[in-house]
């Protein structure tokens, strides 16, 4: 304890010294290009498909790896593939979450196409599916002009966030609020604002977070895609990012690095765990999406539903944070996963997404690679 207090003091001291010696520009640095895809006020591309996809790349997706590859076909078609190099084999061994992340992408494409007066027909897994994703397409797509009703959730696309900060526990969220959000999303989801149930879910969530961080191979999978500071984020606008003046300062004086974050005895690791516990643990309410079976079509549809819920919560002024550790399929997580399913889906089914929901601080968007990098020839 004393050691970590000393380290905190020296970190703060180092940060002050850095600023004092003219390093102000360094600690105040912010990513310059990584958030550019969120600026949608350029003239819309004439090709409706590109317009739909520039919105779709803003979808929530696991570890922000943006695992999408798109091939345009003819004048009105496209094929979506998973980028197989962007999977997470340790924590997502059956590619379930990466498939949900294809669903979130497709749903935003569908909403954006409707805004331009086109229906998007989605044929899932046109060449079949397997236990792991492979080179076969995720979906064959066709855009047809047909004036489908515009979706009121469209306006929320650039404002949607996964808000991983601590939420304001003084501002409760009631079940009536949650029902309003689910209705606005037009989907089926379960939720609770019951203190006893929240506590039971929260305990499992926190156990799962710590377990995953303490298993080197699962923790390493996140560390490998961690981008520390504005410079790394601009160079690799994907993965899990850490930035802001304190991070830049700690990076500059060497307290925070990929190595220290990976070392369970380090100050950086212990502070990271504490920050995760504080944020994941601040849950005014929980909301979750389950499917009757766990096939690929259901995983895609969980993605459609999840992003609709996230957009509807945004419209209602609520923050959401998906928390998937306890739902993952690697052996060490099996007991927690089973306990979570007993709590959330006692009558059977697969819980695909679990999120806390409440009032979080305003936050900015996460990095995105430009659409051009996702277009395959
Ligand atoms: C299938 C899936 C699983 C996710 N699991 C987690 C999670 O366990 N913890 C977390 O902090 N965020 C999780 N997220 C949120 C992503 O990290 C987030 O969408 C991504 O970093 C992009 O950020 P954005 O949603 O704010 O655009 C998940 C998202 C999806 C689609």
Domain locations in the chain? 45-158+365-374
Task: Report residue 131's pLDDT band, with 50, 70 and 90 as the boundaries.
Answer: confident
Alpha helices (H) along 2-95: 2-18, 24-27, 48-56
pLDDT for position 7: 47
Give the whole-angstrom CA distance, residue 67 versus residue 99. Answer: 9
Tell me which of 162, 276, 368 to substitute to probe ligand 1's pocket, judged by most ligand atoms within 8 Å of the beta carbon: 162
Tell me which long-range contacts 142-147 makes (C-beta under 8 A, separation of at least 24).
Answer: 142/76, 142/77, 143/48, 143/49, 143/52, 143/76, 143/77, 143/78, 143/113, 143/118, 143/119, 144/76, 144/118, 144/119, 145/117, 145/118, 146/117, 146/118, 146/119, 147/117
Q: How many whole angstroms from 64 Cα to the centroid of ligand 1?
A: 7
**Which ligand 1 atom sits closest to the C-alpha of 101?**
31
Identify which has the larger pLDDT, 13 or 279: 279
Give the whole-angstrom CA distance, residue 146 versus residue 125. Answer: 24
Cβ(343)–Cβ(217) under 8 Å? no
pLDDT in tens, 108-130: 999 999 999 999 999 999 999 98
Which residue has the least CA distance to atom 13 on ligand 1?
322
What residues are paired with 285 via a beta bridge?
Answer: 357
Cβ(27)–Cβ(19) under 8 Å? yes
Whether residue 1 is predicted with pLDDT greater than 90 in this model: the reply is no
Task: Report residue 22's pLDDT band, with 50, 70 and 90 as the boundaries.
Answer: low
Q: How many whole angstroms from 63 Cα to the centroid of ligand 1?
A: 6
Residues with CB under 6 A from ligand 1: 60-64, 97, 100-101, 104, 161-162, 164, 321-325, 366
Which residue has the least CA distance to atom 19 on ligand 1?
60
Which residue has the least CA distance to atom 31 on ligand 1?
61
Cβ(278)–Cβ(205) under 8 Å? no
pLDDT in tens, 304-326: 999 999 999 999 999 999 999 99
pLDDT for position 5: 47
pLDDT in tens, 338-351: 999 999 999 999 99
Instruction: Give the mean model confidence (pLDDT) for residues 166-192.
Output: 97
pLDDT in tens, 87-115: 999 999 999 999 999 999 999 999 999 99
Q: How many whole angstroms from 87 Cα to the centroid of ligand 1?
A: 14
pLDDT for position 130: 84
Within 13 A of 290's CA, how many CA atoms are on the CB side? 16
pLDDT in tens, 134-178: 999 999 999 999 988 999 999 999 999 999 999 999 999 999 999
pLDDT for position 11: 53
Q: How many whole angstroms from 136 Cα to the centroid of ligand 1?
A: 25
pLDDT for position 42: 84
Which residue has the least CA distance to atom 4 on ligand 1?
62
Q: How many whole angstroms from 66 Cα to the centroid of ligand 1?
A: 11
Task: Report residue 287's pLDDT band, with 50, 70 and 90 as the boundaries.
Answer: very high
**Which ligand 1 atom sits closest to the C-alpha of 58?**
27
Whether residue 28 is predicted with pLDDT greater than 80 in this model: the reply is no
Give the whole-angstrom CA distance, residue 90 versus residue 250. Answer: 29
Homologous superfamily (CATH) of 45-158+365-374 is NADH Oxidase (3.40.109.10)
User: For the whole model, what pTM was predicted?
Assistant: 0.94
**Average pLDDT score over the chain:** 93
Cβ(162)–Cβ(322) under 8 Å? yes
**Which ligand 1 atom sits closest to the C-alpha of 97?**
1
pLDDT in tens, 202-257: 999 999 999 999 999 999 999 999 999 999 999 999 999 999 888 998 888 888 99
Tell me which of 280, 290, 310, 322 to substitute to probe ligand 1's pocket, judged by most ligand atoms within 8 Å of the beta carbon: 322
pLDDT in tens, 6-21: 544 455 555 555 555 5
pLDDT for position 8: 47
């Amino acid at each position: 304890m004393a050691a970590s207090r000393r380290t905190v003091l020296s970190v703060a001291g180092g940060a002050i010294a850095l600023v004092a010696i003219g390093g102000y520009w360094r600690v105040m640095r912010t990513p310059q290009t990584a958030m550019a895809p969120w600026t949608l006020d350029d003239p819309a591309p004439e090709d409706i498909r590109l317009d739909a996809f520039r919105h779709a790349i803003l979808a929530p997706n696991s570890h922000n790896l943006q695992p999408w590859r798109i091939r345009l076909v003819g004048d009105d078609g496209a094929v979506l593939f998973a980028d197989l190099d962007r999977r997470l084999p340790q924590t997502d061994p059956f590619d379930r979450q990466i498939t949900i992340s294809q669903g979130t992408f497709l749903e935003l494409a569908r909403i954006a196409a409707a805004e331009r007066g086109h229906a998007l027909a989605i044929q899932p897994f046109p060449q079949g599916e397997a236990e792991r994703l492979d080179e076969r397409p995720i979906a064959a797509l066709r855009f047809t002009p047909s004036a489908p009703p515009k979706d009121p959730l469209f306006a929320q696309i650039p404002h949607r966030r996964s808000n991983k900060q601590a939420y304001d526990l003084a501002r409760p969220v009631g079940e009536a609020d949650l029902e309003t959000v689910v209705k606005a999303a037009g989907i089926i989801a379960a939720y609770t604002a019951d203190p006893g149930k929240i506590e039971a879910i929260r305990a499992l969530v926190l156990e799962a977070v710590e377990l995953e961080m303490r298993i080197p191979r699962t923790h390493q999978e996140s560390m490998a895609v961690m981008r520390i500071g504005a410079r790394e984020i601009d160079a690799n606008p994907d993965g899990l990012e850490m930035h802001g003046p304190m991070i830049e300062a700690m990076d500059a004086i060497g307290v925070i690095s990929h190595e220290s974050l990976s070392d369970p005895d380090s100050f950086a690791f212990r502070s990271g765990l504490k920050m995760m516990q504080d944020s994941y643990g601040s849950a005014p309410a929980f909301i979750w999406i389950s499917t009757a079976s766990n096939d690929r079509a259901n995983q895609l549809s969980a993605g459609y539903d999840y992003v609709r819920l996230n957009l509807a919560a945004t419209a209602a002024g609520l923050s959401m944070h998906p928390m998937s550790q306890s739902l993952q399929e690697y052996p060490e997580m099996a007991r927690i996963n089973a306990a979570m399913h007993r709590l959330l889906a006692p009558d059977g089914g697969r819980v695909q997404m679990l999120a806390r929901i409440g009032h979080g601080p305003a936050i900015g968007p996460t990095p995105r690679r430009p659409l051009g990098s996702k277009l395959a020839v």
